[in-house]
Amino acid sequence: MTFISRSYGLGTRVLGKVARLLPDGRHDPLSTRPGEIGRDLHRLDGPAKVSGGIRYTADHVPAGLAYAVAVPSTIAKGRVTAVETSRALAAPGVLLVMTHENAPPMKPTGAYATLRAPVGAAAMTLPILNTDRVFWHGQPVAVAVAETQEQAEHAARLVEVRYAPEPAVLSMSEEAAYTPAHSVLEESRTVVGDVRAGLARAAATVRGVYSTPAEYHNALEPHATVARWDGDDLTVHDASQYPYGVKEMLAKKFGLPLDRVHVLAPYIGGGFGGKTCAWPHVALTVAAAKLAGRPVKLALSRTQTYLMTGGRAPTRSRIQLGADAQGRLTAIVHDALATCTTDEFAEAAIAASRHLYACPNISAHQRVVQVDRIQNAFFRGPGVAPGSFAMESAIDELAWELGMDPLELRLRNEPDRDPVSGNRFTSRHLREAYLLGAETFGWHDRATLPRATRDGHWLVGQGMAAAINPDAVLIAAVRLRLSADGTFTIHSSTNELGAGTSTAQTQAAAQRLGVPMDKIRFLQGDSDVAKTRIPGASAATTTLASAIWNARDLLVRELLKLAQGTPLTGLRAGEVETRDEGLFARDGRGVTYRRILELAGRDHVEVTGKSAVPYQTLKRTTSTYGAHFAEVRVDDDTGEVRVTRWAGAFDGGRVVSPRQAASQMRGGIIQGIGMALMEATLLDERSGRVVNASLAEQHIPTQADVPDIDVCFVDRPDPQTPLGAKGIGELGIVGVAAAIANAIYHATGKRVRSLPISPDKLLS
Amino acid sequence: MNGHIPIHLNVNGQAHDLSLDPRTTLLDCLRERLGLTGTKKGCDQGACGACTVLLDGERVNSCLTPAVQCDGMEVVTIEAMADDELGAQVQQAFLTHDGFQCGYCTSGQICSIIGMLAEHREGRPSAVTEDLARPAPLNDAEIRERMAGNLCRCGAYNGIVAAIREVAAV
């Protein structure tokens, strides 16, 4: 362990003690009140989406637009010795070729993903196209700009790059592994109790090595940027989950004041974490627009999304578990390894091992290997999704070893406090989720032995696994505007990834302000609204709700000032309620919003509300939970696996928008089915080249791979979160791969410990 | 002139006389030349189905279709779907059954459904059709197989099947 990681560990322990003195989360009165929250509604942006009416980034075609195409490097490490651009420049319609020799200077920025300097969305610190160095295979080494997309693509192929290659580190070797100073959202090294003693007194033990490959988000919308300079004003449409972070990054890189940079991303075509960070092409588009003196659009090709944006790091986990004869865990040992780059974004595969089960002896250790690849990225359940495959498979193996139902084993190890910190939970209803899921699925009907159910050449089995994901409230501000006609506009920098944010926020705000939903317009994805740091992290619902709650309180104060000479005179903010489209005291006195503005002669009132500091999440452990129940059929002759039934039960606090929430859980489960059975980004470890950089060679689940999926929620409000809700965007994928691996074991008697579980692994 | 080729294209009932680079795909022609950005580019390789449009009534991946090959043909895109009785039903069913999340694959899904239903009406079999001599009922397995060319990464597949069930039952 390095000095830095020791001090980090010490620092977090001291902080942990201090944090216990902090206040709990402010109880949100809305969290238990019936109303718009929890109503089953269609998406508000639905009509626009089913008619092709939403404009995503690449749909913008400003006047005078030029098209840019990036040229990928063909070595993993070394130097560019020459870029021959004359053939490209001579091709029809070509405006320029940008290389490291003529690109405008772009100041280095911190890497957002490391969370050490969480300012700006830059994916990496590396100075792409301001250096002759090559850091990975597929790095942009030139950008061709032309009048049309076809001409730019042709020109990019005519650019000849010569290199001086150097040896690259491309494999995840034990020898190069070290403990990172900081793993994402988890401590890198945890020791509780004495695992040796715990294993020694165990009645049953299991041990295994589990591996997961590199995986990609594969959002259907490839990354794209459209940049336009007007003097020193820069307007950028970007397929980003984090518009404010892109604004900060571009301001820094191009030496502009923040208020001259405008980033717009109202809608994006799927993110899943892949659009949290701004990958190098974003700044390169801006630089190309500067050189060209025209607006420029750069849309990555599907192939380039695997080269010029990052994905989930591969992982390898060694797990050892011990339990007494009653199934109570006596030891958990989890040593995890993942890759990262020089920016050291360490995905923590150890989360499930640290927080899921009560156990007096826990040793969890995350190590990393730095490789010469594009930096890895946040991807739905970073660390915890691959790590839970390992842990939840091992728990299943332990259940077989003990001769105990895996559901019963989990119920016997459900903790009252966080097993690592000893902190209390803000709320935890995993037990209810287990029982709800088991009931929905019909778990208790399953055969007690593996390989016991056959239907022709199909072997049938059922498996289960738990899900967990950290919950967070982050930083956001919203502008709330009340107009003279009694309608509200809410401006948010955070945008709609497809999760239903605009619908959920409109529901919650309607109840918060006491107006019907059609009186509220929710506008999103404009970086100029206010400082807002919600890059994803399943945090949009609660963070925006917190900001709107604050805005509501500020608005009430403003309106009471304006309402002198009305029945509201003399009342304080705490004495009025926002209901029936106005402010009303408990005795029924009140005035409508419209009337208040009319009497005051005001056209509108506007306030800016900020999300509250989430002290409760420092003081207590706050996570979301779930249980997956899966049925698979495995072809005994070919090894083909079909998922035929699914039930997922989840505890995500109060459910704000049930239809959208259920759809989001299904989406996570379906990505998990892909992770379990087919998804892998293959790297040639000699050259650093991605071998299967296309959707034809890198499979994700299709319509034909997915059964009807039952989703249910415990739906109990968390007493300490805004709306009583928690973020559920990532939870659905966690544990899915293990549930499938466990079902495959039940069907076939074969335990597969490496993902994806392709047919060859079942035929051996 | 610059090797461009003149073509006549009817898009959503509107006639267009265009002079096109032979490399231009039908997808880029719709999006960049005609401003019909409702059709999306997901992979530009024919692997995802986001760019599906109807070409003389057949569903095609417009990213794999050179625009100059469509001379004299009729193209229907998502922008005209509300004017079609069945198209409007599918759109409504997508809203009812939450057949989408981010919306990026939706235009292609809806165009594909129109084409798929026509194929099924004509009695064309799919890879899972058991009896090739008889028209297959449009059960869930048939729907899933016939729509397997339209990827949805958000995972709205269940809602899409429910929407098709509803429309096909009418």
Distance from CA of B39 to the nearest CA of A (A): 7
Inter-chain residue contact A43 with B158, CB threshold 8 Å: no
Q: Is the peptide bond before A415 cis (omega within 30 degrees of 0)?
A: no
Q: How far apart are CA B41 and CA B30, in angstroms?
A: 11
Average pLDDT along chain A = 95
3 state SS for A666-686: HHHHHHHHHHHHCCCCCECCC
Residue of B nearest to A709 (CA): B158
* ipTM at complex level: 0.98
φ and ψ at A44, to 5 degrees? -70, -30
Residues 6+ apart with CB under 8 A from B52: B39, B59, B60, B61, B62, B107, B108, B109, B111, B112, B115, B149, B150
**Cα-Cα end-to-end distance for chain A:** 40
What does the pLDDT average to over A562-576?
Answer: 94
Inter-chain residue contact B2 with A92, CB threshold 8 Å: yes
Summarize pLDDT for B43-85 with one digit per residue, the tens.
999 999 999 999 999 999 999 999 999 999 999 999 999 999 9
CB pairs < 8 Å spanning A and B? 183
Distance from CA of B35 to the nearest CA of A (A): 8
What per-residue confidence (pLDDT) applies to A10?
57
Q: Which of A47, A221, A704 sits opposite B95 (nearest CB)?
A: A47
Q: How confident is the model at residue A9 (pLDDT cuts 50, 70, 90)?
A: low
Summarize pLDDT for A168-225 with one digit per residue, the tens.
999 999 999 999 998 988 899 999 999 999 999 999 999 999 999 999 999 999 999 9
Distance from CA of A696 to the nearest CA of B (A): 6
DSSP class of residue A351 equals: H
* CB contact A44 to B (< 8 Å): no
Alpha-carbon dihedral of residues A377, A383, A386, A391, nearest 10 degrees? 180
> What are the chain B neighbours of A51 within 8 Å (beta carbons)?
38, 78-79, 81-82, 91
Distance from CA of A150 to the nearest CA of B (A): 7
Inter-chain residue contact B158 with A660, CB threshold 8 Å: no
Inter-chain residue contact A668 with B154, CB threshold 8 Å: no
* CB contact B145 to A (< 8 Å): yes
Summarize pLDDT for A86-112 with one digit per residue, the tens.
999 999 999 999 999 999 999 999 999
Inter-chain residue contact A671 with B155, CB threshold 8 Å: yes
Q: Which of A272, A695, A705 sits opposite B47 (nearest CB)?
A: A695
What does the pLDDT average to over A569-579?
Answer: 95
* CB contact B84 to A (< 8 Å): no
Alpha-carbon dihedral of residues A109, A113, A115, A119, nearest 10 degrees? 40
Q: Which of B77, B78, B104 sits opposite A269 (nearest CB)?
A: B104
* CA dihedral sign of residues A539, A540, A543, A549: negative
Give A620's Cβ-side CA count (13 Å radius): 20
Summarize pLDDT for A222-277 with one digit per residue, the tens.
999 999 999 999 999 999 999 999 999 999 999 999 999 999 999 999 999 999 99
Q: How far apart are CA A679 and CA A698, in angstroms?
A: 6
For chain A, positions 60-119, list CB contacts with chain B under 8 A: 61, 92
Distance from CA of A165 to the nearest CA of B (A): 31
Inter-chain residue contact B45 with A499, CB threshold 8 Å: no
Residues 6+ apart with CB under 8 A from B127: B145
Q: Which of B47, B103, B147 sits opposite A498 (nearest CB)?
A: B103
Q: How confident is the model at residue A15 (pLDDT cuts 50, 70, 90)?
A: low
> What are the chain A neighbours of B103 within 8 Å (beta carbons)?
45, 48-50, 54, 267, 269, 498
Sheet holding B52-55, edge to edge: B14-20, B5-11, B74-76, B52-55, B58-61
For chain A, positions 648-667, list CB contacts with chain B under 8 A: 659-660, 662-664, 666-667
Catalytic residues of A: 730
As a residue count, chain B comes to 170
0.95 surpassed by pTM: yes
Encoded tokens for A423: 């902190």
* CB contact B68 to A (< 8 Å): no
> What are the chain A neighbours of B47 within 8 Å (beta carbons)?
302, 694-696
> What are the chain B neighbours of A731 within 8 Å (beta carbons)?
none
* CB contact B95 to A (< 8 Å): yes
Summarize pLDDT for B5-27 with one digit per residue, the tens.
999 999 999 999 999 999 999 99
Residue A740 has pLDDT above 50, yes or no: yes
Inter-chain residue contact B43 with A51, CB threshold 8 Å: no
Cα of A756 vs its chain's centroid, Å:
21
A640 touches A704 (CB < 8 A): no
Q: What is the DSSP string of B23-77?
A: T-BHHHIIIIIS--TTS--S-SSSSS-TTEEEETTEEEEGGGSBGGGGTT-EEE-
Residue of A nearest to B25 (CA): A150
Residue A2 has pLDDT above 90, yes or no: no
A43 touches A271 (CB < 8 A): no
Residues 6+ apart with CB under 8 A from A370: A169, A176, A339, A340, A341, A342, A344
Encoded tokens for B109: 């899904």
What per-residue confidence (pLDDT) applies to A12?
58
> What are the chain A neighbours of B79 within 8 Å (beta carbons)?
51-52
Q: Minimal CA–CA distance to A561: which of A519, A609, A597, A532?
A: A597
* CB contact A40 to B (< 8 Å): no
Q: Minimal CA–CA distance to A221: which of A383, A86, A57?
A: A57
What per-residue confidence (pLDDT) applies to A3?
46
Q: How far apart are CA A390 and CA A480, in angstroms?
A: 46
Summarize pLDDT for A458-500 with one digit per residue, the tens.
999 999 999 999 999 999 999 999 999 999 999 999 988 888 9
Residue A4 has pLDDT above 60, yes or no: no
Q: How confident is the model at residue A536 (pLDDT cuts 50, 70, 90)?
A: confident
A500 touches A538 (CB < 8 A): no
- E-strand ranges in A286-394 read 296-299, 315-323, 329-340, 362-370
